Structure 1
Amino acid sequence: MDKEHALEEMMGKLGDFGRYQGFQFFLHILAAMTAGIHMLSLVTVAAVPDHRCAIKGVDSQNYTEPWNSSLVTQLIPLNDHGKLESCKMYAVNKSLEDCQSWVYDTQYYTSSRGIEWDFVCHRRWMGAASQTVYMFGVVLGSIVLGRLCDSFGRKTVFVWSGILQLLFGASVAFSTGYYMFVVIRFLYGIFGSGSYIAGFVLTMELIGPSRRTLCGVTFQVMFAFGIILVAGWGYLIDNRFYLQIVYALHAAILLPHWFLMDESPRWLWAQGRARESVAIIEKALKMNRSNEVIDTPALVSNCKLTSTKYTEDQSSGTLGLFRTPNMLKKTLIICGCWFANSVVYYGLSLNAGKLNGNPYFIIFLMGVVEMPSYIIIMYYIDRVGHRALISVMMLLGGISCLVVVALPHGSPAATGVVMIGKFFISGSYSIIYKYSAELFPTVVRSSGVGLGSMCASVSGALAPLISLLDTLNPKVPTIILGFLALLSGFSTFLLPETIGRSLPQSIEDGEKFGIGDTCFTNCSGRRMSEISTDIPETMIPLDVKKS
């Protein structure tokens, strides 16, 4: 038997999706839900409601003058949108002066870090910095944890990330000062998406081709469900301490995974740990009620022949993504796609509280609007392919952002177009995880997805800072998001299609994968059934070279 196909014969016996894969997949996707909660928790925990200058001698802790009273309108000017100015008030001589303290509209929020520490006006940067620091923690986590996934295993990183999510998530609630809060949120961010990265790679390495699209998109569905939970818990719990504790406790559902979840058989095989890999497959076959028989001695022998090659590839780590021309091109473009998708996705999501209306309902809609996008993705992806869908949805998302600029600020039409933009960007974002996992070879797959996730985290960290540019002009942030989406949408034309294609295993396979395949040579994808029948009938063929 060809040594490169020994693993594929074993994995092929499982089939694409059985009882075992379904159970493991359920365990994996729980990490997506917790990641969504952690990522967007600050939107409610540190919410900044409408505010105005506190009037000395009138407003106090026990009493706030009605906002529409004649006294308030005499002392506080109106802004360009006809609302009370948030940062200025009239001095005794009728000149404008900066606020010294503030009072907040308590219709939706009575307790938040934003109210407690006054994340407004000249202190507004503090709220943006809190989210930016979290995202930079995610950046570091993407680099370190992606590499640790390849070195120490997907399961180990998954479970330890869950433990530390719980620890640091709860610690955030106990923070007594701003800088303590920021430091703990940085640590919280490192592990906030660690289980997501490991869980996604585990799924892609276990599930067969016919179910990879559905499973990949389901990860994004669960992330969106996490956003919905952020809105739901925020509506029910109007206390920033208990709210943060509840958000953190969701990570506890990942702890039993140490006993319930298995390591990736592909990773074990790549490490030369054939007996452990075969044992998991035998367990899976039994759970799937399959009559297939595994030839353990032959498989172990074949694994020993390939372990040296895998070890050499494994040692290249993230650098292996940049050492050859085709790998370099694909890596740079896909990282650009991650960057643009993330900055637009989080730019829209994190600013949900600034849209007119009930902020909890707006956040809820931000999660719900993703669902129909994912349904469309699942229906069309095998018909038009990853490349075409990512390109079209990013281009339409970018156009939506630019359309918002032309609409009246705070109008229902603007809110509606923002939701349309979120619809398209969510769709492209859902594809990029799976697309990246299929572009990168197995030996650096976690590192590749981790690198892409790092780029997404960097741009996600920039999203709150970009929103601060509205002090120059309210339209500037949206224009930036729109042009980034358009640029990335066009660049995706140069990537190869992966639908129904064999996944590369080694760095050499990765360099050969997709050469000459661009939108200009084949602008649309093809149905799986139309892909070349030369692909071996195995679960996910990784190398079609002949021995």
Structure 2
Amino acid sequence: MLELTSAAHTSLVGNVALVAFTIGEAIITLFAYLTVDWQMLKWAKAIFIGLILPYLYFMPETPLYLYAKRQYAELEVLLRRIANQNRRTEVELYPSYQEFLGNQSIAQVHNERKISFLKQLRQLLSQRTSIIKLLIINLLGFTTYLLYYEISYGLEVINISPYLGILIGAVVEAVGYISSSLLMVTKLGRKGTFVIMLGLTAACVFIIPFISKHNALGAVLIDQFGKYAISGTISISWIFVPELFQTSIRSSANGLFITFSHLGAIIVPVINTSVSDEYLSITYYMSSVLAVIVLVLTMLLPETRNKTMDD
């Protein structure tokens, strides 16, 4: 979806989608409240999702993907369609498109001349850089989702209606998504905003065990602020990570990122149900330390603000 827009609007588009996710949480909560029975809830969700499926038929392939695959005829048709929808004439589109293709051809010839001299070294360096970035983003995804569910698991102990709890959580998440979308387009960029949000999350997770022993209300407030911070962190990562990779490997890198993210989500309930209450605080401390490690490793990644998602 991020490939369908320009670099100037990726943060807006990505975070609109994430805010829509919180709206989905509210809708599911409403379904759960009305249906009560879990089988009816499953049917309600299936029907709701089914209504969206026809849209996928009309959703175009992204220009960047077509360009990466060198499907220039399809790319030209798609760009002309986009230009028409944006009320741009062919006179405005075609010269720029031809110049773009001409520049790409020149670049390809230039690279072919160099490849005989630097092919092995270039491939090695490219692979090494990609591997380092993949390792960092996988740990990043694992940690952010681990923290998200660690905090959410702590909020489950609040003695209020689960429906109300989910709605409050959805509002807090939406605020986190919106805040991060506003910050990441400033001079802080993707990386700076991510570091701030993750740092706040780590601080909250570290403080929660201390506060919960003395002040239940304070623990709830810190938990909610932690959820705000980790929601912002996740929203940034879902925009930051795809921008780190070129189109040809973006889907694979993003797939690994999502896989490790869900591993972090899976491990939280396993740990929390296996560890006794006496030692549960240790899991919070370890999670905060892991967050600090990810924060430091993130500094090795490049900033991607205003970077086009191309090859």
TM-score (norm 1): 0.49
Residue in 2 aligned with 1:395? 199
Residue in 1 aligned with 2:118? none
Q: Which has the higher helix share?
A: 2
**8 Å CA contact 2:185, 2:305 repeated in 1:** yes
Question: Cα offset for 1:323?
Answer: 5.6
Question: Cα offset for 1:443?
Answer: 0.8
Return the letter of the residue paired with 2:55: H
Residue in 2 aligned with 1:357? 160
How far apart, in 1, do the equivalents of 2:287 and 2:267 lie? 11
**8 Å CA contact 1:342, 1:459 repeated in 2:** yes
**8 Å CA contact 2:201, 2:229 repeated in 1:** yes
Return the letter of the residue paired with 1:497: E
Question: Cα offset for 1:475?
Answer: 2.3
Return the letter of the residue paired with 1:225: I
Q: How does 1:475-486 map to 2 (within 5 A)?
A: 475-486=281-292
Residue in 2 aligned with 1:406? 210
Residue in 2 aligned with 1:416? 221
1:469 counterpart = 2:274: yes
Question: Residues 404-442 of structure 1, C-alpha deviation per residue, up to 9 Å, x if partnerless?
Answer: 101236922222211111100110110111111111111
Question: Residues 437-492 of structure 1, C-alpha deviation per residue, up to 9 Å, x if partnerless?
Answer: 11111111111111111110111121221221342534244333323222222321
Residue in 2 aligned with 1:457? 262
Question: Residues 23-58 of structure 1, C-alpha deviation per residue, up to 9 Å, x if partnerless?
Answer: xxxxxxxxxxxxxxxxxxxxxxxxxxxxxxxxxxxx
Question: Cα offset for 1:355?
Answer: 2.5
Unaligned runs of 5+ in 2: 112-122
1:207 counterpart = 2:12: no
- Name the SS of the counterpart of 1:269 in structure 2: helix
Residue in 2 aligned with 1:445? 250
Return the letter of the residue paired with 2:10: R
Question: Cα offset for 1:256?
Answer: 1.1
What is the aligned counterpart of 2:128 among 321, 325, 334? 325
**8 Å CA contact 2:15, 2:235 repeated in 1:** yes
Residue in 1 aligned with 2:294? 488
**8 Å CA contact 2:64, 2:310 repeated in 1:** no
> Given the superposition, is the C-alpha separation of residues 406 and 351 from structure 1 closer, same or farther in structure 2, using an over 3 Å criterion?
closer
Residue in 1 aligned with 2:94? 294
What is the aligned counterpart of 1:339 among 129, 133, 142? 142
**8 Å CA contact 1:275, 1:300 repeated in 2:** no
Q: How does 1:242-253 map to 2 (within 5 A)?
A: 242-253=40-51
Q: How does 1:237-316 map to 2 (within 5 A)?
A: 237-291=35-89, 292-294=92-94
- Name the SS of the counterpart of 1:334 in structure 2: helix
> Given the superposition, is the C-alpha separation of residues 476 and 401 from structure 1 closer, same or farther in structure 2, using an over 3 Å criterion?
same
- Name the SS of the counterpart of 2:94 in structure 1: coil
- Name the SS of the counterpart of 1:440 in structure 2: coil
How far apart, in 2, do the equivalents of 1:428 and 1:215 lie? 16
Return the letter of the residue paired with 2:190: H
**8 Å CA contact 1:272, 1:307 repeated in 2:** no
**8 Å CA contact 2:181, 2:236 repeated in 1:** no
**Of the two, which has the highest radius of gyration?**
1
> Given the superposition, is the C-alpha separation of residues 244 and 503 from structure 1 closer, same or farther in structure 2, using an over 3 Å criterion?
closer
Question: Cα offset for 1:229?
Answer: 2.3
> Given the superposition, is the C-alpha separation of residues 469 and 398 from structure 1 closer, same or farther in structure 2, using an over 3 Å criterion?
farther
Question: Cα offset for 1:205?
Answer: 1.4
Question: Cα offset for 1:218?
Answer: 1.6
Matched length: 293
How far apart, in 1, do the equivalents of 2:156 and 2:173 lie? 17
Question: Cα offset for 1:503?
Answer: 4.1
**8 Å CA contact 2:198, 2:291 repeated in 1:** yes
Question: Cα offset for 1:258?
Answer: 3.7
Question: Cα offset for 1:242?
Answer: 0.7
Question: Residues 360-403 of structure 1, C-alpha deviation per residue, up to 9 Å, x if partnerless?
Answer: 11111111101222222222212211111111111111111121
Residue in 1 aligned with 2:234? 429
What is the aligned counterpart of 1:499 among 302, 305, 309? 305
The RMSD of aligned alpha carbons is 2.9
Residue in 2 aligned with 1:169? none
> Given the superposition, is the C-alpha separation of residues 280 and 480 from structure 1 closer, same or farther in structure 2, using an over 3 Å criterion?
same
Return the letter of the residue paired with 2:144: N
Q: How does 1:61-72 map to 2 (within 5 A)?
A: none
Residue in 2 aligned with 1:223? 21
Identity rate, percent = 24
**8 Å CA contact 2:148, 2:230 repeated in 1:** yes
How far apart, in 1, do the equivalents of 2:199 and 2:108 lie? 43
